[in-house]
Amino acid sequence: MSISPFLSINHPCEQALRWTKRRLSRAGLRAMQTFDLHTARAGLHDCPCPNHGTEDCDCQMVILLVYGNADAPATLFLHGNDGQTWLSIADEPRQRTDSKLLTGIKQALDAPVSIPQIV
């Protein structure tokens, strides 16, 4: 599967996720979250992080299905660790993303990332 980041955000994944959902919504796109690594790992106690070697790390992966006017949604990945988040869209021969939807997602997220700091 071809998953190359098209955007890097200098914020933790949870903040980047809220920003991404807001931006997509403002562009008239609907995002449905289908996976959350923290939730998936919640019941596993012997599952060390491959990057940090500990259970208590800030690694996160979230998968969103993004719907627009296309027949099928786009699969948007947010992967974060160490306070940085990368966004990628799945696009391969078996799962082609509609070009207009892909353009709409990238345009919606093509803005300076201004995420309010949580105090």
Neighbour count for residue 75 (Cβ, 10 Å): 19
All structural domains of the chain with their residue ranges = 5-43+57-109
For residue range 90-107, what is the model confidence (pLDDT) as tens digits?
A: 877 777 889 999 999 999
Task: Name which CATH class applies to 5-43+57-109.
Answer: alpha beta
For residue range 40-68, what is the model confidence (pLDDT) as tens digits?
A: 777 766 666 666 666 567 789 999 999 99
State percent of the chain over pLDDT 90: 54
Q: Which two tokens stand for residue 116?
A: 């309010």
Confidence (pLDDT) at 97: 87
Whole-prediction pTM value? 0.83
Distances, alpha carbon 48 to alpha carbons 37, 53, 55, in Å:
13, 5, 5
Confidence (pLDDT) at 93: 76
